[in-house]
A and B are shown apart, each in its own frame.
Chain A
Amino acid sequence: MRMNKQQFLQNFSEFSDLKHRTLKVYGSQLDVIYLDTMCASDKITDFVAKPILSLDRKPTVENCMEKILFGADCLIVDNLQDASKEFLDGKTLIFFQDDERAVAVDTKGIEYRAVAEPPTSRVTKGPREGFNENVKTNVMLLRKRLKTADFKVQNVTVGDKTNTLVSVCYIKDLADKKTVKKIVGKIKQIKMDGVLDSSYIAAYLDPDRTKLFKLVGSIEKPDVVASKLLEGRVAVVVDGSPIVLTLPYTFIEDMQSPDDYYYNTPQTATIARILRLIAMVFAVMLPAIYVALQLFHYQMLPSKFLLTIISSVQGIPFPPLLEMLVVILLFDILREANARMPQIAGLSLSIVGAIILGDAAVQAGLLSAPAVMIGALSGIGLYAMPDNTMLFTLLRLAFTILGGTIGIIGVLLGTMMVVSYVVSLEDFGTPYLAPIAPSISSDKMDAIVKKPIEELQQAREHSALSVRGKEED
């Protein structure tokens, strides 16, 4: 559609924050149109009004572009669609008399959150910067760390109504070209009205049909994203979201924490990762095993421990499976309530929950002490890998039911089923469980057992093979 000022104004007729100023310079009329809520008035004064008024000849598009509008990002738009897009993005449009084109000047005055430490990924050592909701700031934070010509950014706009800018970032020689192409292609294919957060994009990029397992990384710290890019991964930055997506994603990344890299002792990182793994197993399996042992295989328990359990479960009105499900349910309700409470109230809720629901229930003989203890231990384990808390909660529930209905064989078969499914998952050609299955020895240097940073650096050329779509035998 060709440019027409009247048509444009008619399109935005119900915009009460639309401002329209008419300037006359050397007998020629100029229409300055902007959105009051999106633009900064000082920017309009400095980059639009003052330069135009200081013009010493008849204003034309070329004059303005060449001579005066030097202070900010500006471009010529020659159709209504582009003009609307730029206008809604916070730009000021200058319409010229007897010209079907307009100039869009960047006078955006949108307020963004400052770069601060993200609340979800705090570190004791290392950089404290976190992404904010501005895509440009976020790309800047990455570029600040990756001062190389190989750091590439491809922009795609997604969302019919939101026109959200999505930047796909990667390092040219490290990232797999096919993967980048696939990711960009997939993002371009997304058809939806609005993209309000990166999680909207993640849903389209996640190849897991069940959506249970997270196959797209979500990171709030630029230093972590930079390290992922250096491993050959691709980052997807979405405007309006402080969470940057990284692809391909492997399970082992869940076990890694930024702290692992900022402490110079790889042994502590290794122990921390093993602990996270144990915590995961505890979180998912402990209630199931406890129920299975009680209902089917009590012989497995040491005699003295069995004596304790027998004396504890005496008089409990619920069968073991139901008792454990009640404990899990109570814990999940507490967690859910706690997550949405103000911080101070949340703290008291935890205490109240622990004391009232735990101790009082045991005292009242409604729940047994070992069941509460097992439920609590499993609940704590859920947070060892915070990104997967909900998945582990679901798995814990499923495993508990399996353990309580089929016994330890059910737990074994459940585990085998989950592992079978997980090993079959692939994220843009990268097996989800790499470098464990399939085994890639160079990538294993930073899997569970972390090698010193010098060794990792030496093996840099061979590292993250799986991410780059390569597997060794």
Chain B
Amino acid sequence: MNNSIKQTQLILLMVLVIAGGKFLSLPGLMAQFAGRDSWISMTLLFVIDLVCLCFVLWAIKLNKGKQLNEILTDTLSPVGAKIIFAIYAVFFILRIMGGLIDTMDLVLSSLSVVTNWIAFIVPMLIVIGFNVLKGARNVGRLAQIFFFFIFISVLLILFLSYKHADFSNLQPYVADGFGVVAKGALNASFWFSDCVFLVFLMGSVTTNKLFGIKISGAFVFGAILTVMLDIVFLSLFGMLAQYSTSALAKVSGFNLTSSSYGRLDWIFVVIWLSSIVIKSILFLWAATMSISYIFNVKSKKGYAIIYGVICLAFIVMPLILPLETFIDDFICQGVGKYFFFSVQYLIPLLLPLLTYLSNKKSKPQSLQEDCDCNQNADCMQRMEGAATRGNGQIEGSGNCLCKDGAPSDARLCESNGKQDDKKGLFNRVKRLWKKITAKKA
């Protein structure tokens, strides 16, 4: 797994993750809770998320090359850290499972494909799995390729629908009191906090002057785009909004006219679906990382097994459990959502403190250890973290490089980070010395 992501890629991913998947059943669901004011609920949730994001960014700034598992283990004990990771894993898996069930509903109802869950999910999981196992870098690059097309699709859908929208449908604002808006926000909270994936990039991300501003700017941009689409949706459908199962299929100029152009908007819908796939990749990558931290898995094979188990859960769970009802009744409207508040809000808000304590408690471990890059991903990531500190980039010339030709267990890691160079050099000399003495022996 190569988890190094460039800053530009992270910005694009942030926009895609914030907007992707938010336009399936969520607007209709929120309209059920908060009616025409559901866009205010959405804005409220985004504001809360922005606060959490700022705390995460602060923590990243404070962080000295440690990964999330190290910070949590240092501060919350190994057991505490494992519990947190277990909640994270469940959170990410349920989020994506719910999202993909909604996606399937969209595909079934609007794209008139008649299929079953397994036939739908297996090809999806293959594509997601390939990227998960390749690491976060692949997702970043994928985002760079697809972002333009997704963005154009969103703009076209917005532009084509805009002229049909009656924005007075949003009035009167907060007529039923702020309690309804708050209730709407509370019940939909499970579907937010997308930016928590960022905590899994702790140790691989560095801060420079503009990093925080750029990332939070991308978040705000994604949030504005999502709220705008929700506003257009509510303006178009008014009282009918709550009855819609998939806002994405409804918000379109081609849907709202009786022109003979067919449903060309479904081309944009299909392109937009790629943002859901990208989000699924990122979240399932985070879920895989969470589980790998729980079981101390650090090999490529181990990650593959973890992902295989996740796939099994994806295939089997919706077949044996009424998952949609479970998510709606137990999580969204039930007590389940409070269970996830710990990872959605508590951990991000406490992260600067935890990072500070972790930094205080122990100095960062040796960053330049001998490592087998195929087998010791943990070490590799730490190396990347070191690299980023060295040159002020997330992915740059400081990536962990392995010398070709050397057997995998004898590979040497080198980095351009200044601090790391010294240690790297020391290790190289040490290893060379060992080789020489071994030969002599």
Chain A residues within CB distance 8 Å of chain B = 182, 185, 296-297, 299-306, 406-410, 412-413, 416-417, 419-421, 423-424, 431, 433, 436-439, 470-471, 473
Closest Cβ neighbor of B265 among chain A residues: A300
Tally of B interface residues using CB under 8 Å: 42
Is B366 in contact with chain A by the CB < 8 A criterion? no
B401 to chain A, nearest CB (A): 8
Specify which of B127, B260, B395 is in contact with A438 (CB 8 Å cutoff).
B395
Among the interface residues A420, A436, A438, A470, which one has the most CB atoms of the partner chain B within 10 A? A420
Residues of A within 8 A of B264 (CB): 300, 302
Give 29 CB contacts A-B under 8 Å.
A297-B112, A297-B113, A297-B263, A299-B112, A299-B262, A300-B262, A300-B266, A300-B267, A302-B264, A304-B260, A406-B123, A407-B113, A409-B123, A409-B273, A412-B277, A416-B142, A417-B126, A417-B130, A420-B130, A420-B142, A436-B145, A437-B142, A438-B9, A438-B140, A439-B6, A471-B6, A471-B395, A471-B397, A473-B394
Chain B residues within CB distance 8 Å of chain A = 6-9, 107, 111-113, 120, 123-124, 126-127, 130-131, 134, 138, 140-142, 144-146, 260-264, 266-267, 270-271, 273-274, 277, 393-397, 404-405
Q: Given A296-B113, A412-B270 in contact, is the A473-B395 Cβ separation under 8 Å? A: yes
Q: Is the CB of B111 within 8 A of A297?
A: yes
Q: Given A424-B134, A438-B144, A473-B396 in contact, is the A412-B274 Cβ separation under 8 Å? A: yes
Give the 5 A-B residue pairs with the shortest CB-CB distance, closest first: A303-B260, A423-B141, A437-B144, A437-B141, A302-B262
Known: A409-B107, A433-B145, A438-B144. 20 other contacts (CB 8 A): A185-B404, A297-B113, A300-B264, A303-B261, A304-B260, A408-B266, A409-B273, A413-B124, A420-B127, A421-B130, A423-B138, A423-B142, A424-B134, A436-B144, A437-B144, A471-B395, A471-B396, A473-B7, A473-B395, A473-B396
Q: Is the CB of B111 within 8 A of A410?
A: no
CA distance A416 to B150 in the complex (A): 13
Q: Is the CB of B126 within 8 A of A408?
A: no
Residues of B within 8 A of A438 (CB): 6, 8-9, 140-141, 144, 395
Specify which of B146, B262, B393 is in contact with A419 (CB 8 Å cutoff).
B146
Specify which of A301, A408, A423, A439 is in contact with B262 (CB 8 Å cutoff).
A301
CA distance A296 to B141 in the complex (A): 31
Specify which of A300, A409, A421, A423 is in contact with B263 (CB 8 Å cutoff).
A300
CA distance A292 to B118 in the complex (A): 20
Residues of B within 8 A of A417 (CB): 126-127, 130
Residues of A within 8 A of B8 (CB): 438-439, 473
Residues of A within 8 A of B111 (CB): 296-297, 407-409
Residues of A within 8 A of B141 (CB): 423-424, 431, 433, 437-438
Residues of B within 8 A of A297 (CB): 111-113, 263, 266
Specify which of A185, A296, A436, A471 is in contact with B112 (CB 8 Å cutoff).
A296
Q: Is the CB of A424 within 8 A of B262?
A: no
CA distance A431 to B144 in the complex (A): 13
CA distance A417 to B123 in the complex (A): 10
Q: Is the CB of A420 within 8 A of B397?
A: no
Residues of A within 8 A of B140 (CB): 438
CA distance A320 to B145 in the complex (A): 31
CA distance A407 to B144 in the complex (A): 25
Q: Is the CB of A419 within 8 A of B145?
A: yes
Among the interface residues A182, A300, A419, which one has the most CB atoms of the partner chain B within 10 A? A300
CA distance A341 to B264 in the complex (A): 43
CA distance A304 to B398 in the complex (A): 58
Residues of A within 8 A of B261 (CB): 302-303
CA distance A309 to B183 in the complex (A): 51
Specify which of B145, B267, B393 is in contact with A423 (CB 8 Å cutoff).
B145
Closest Cβ neighbor of B119 among chain A residues: A406
CA distance A162 to B85 in the complex (A): 60
Closest Cβ neighbor of A289 among chain B residues: B267
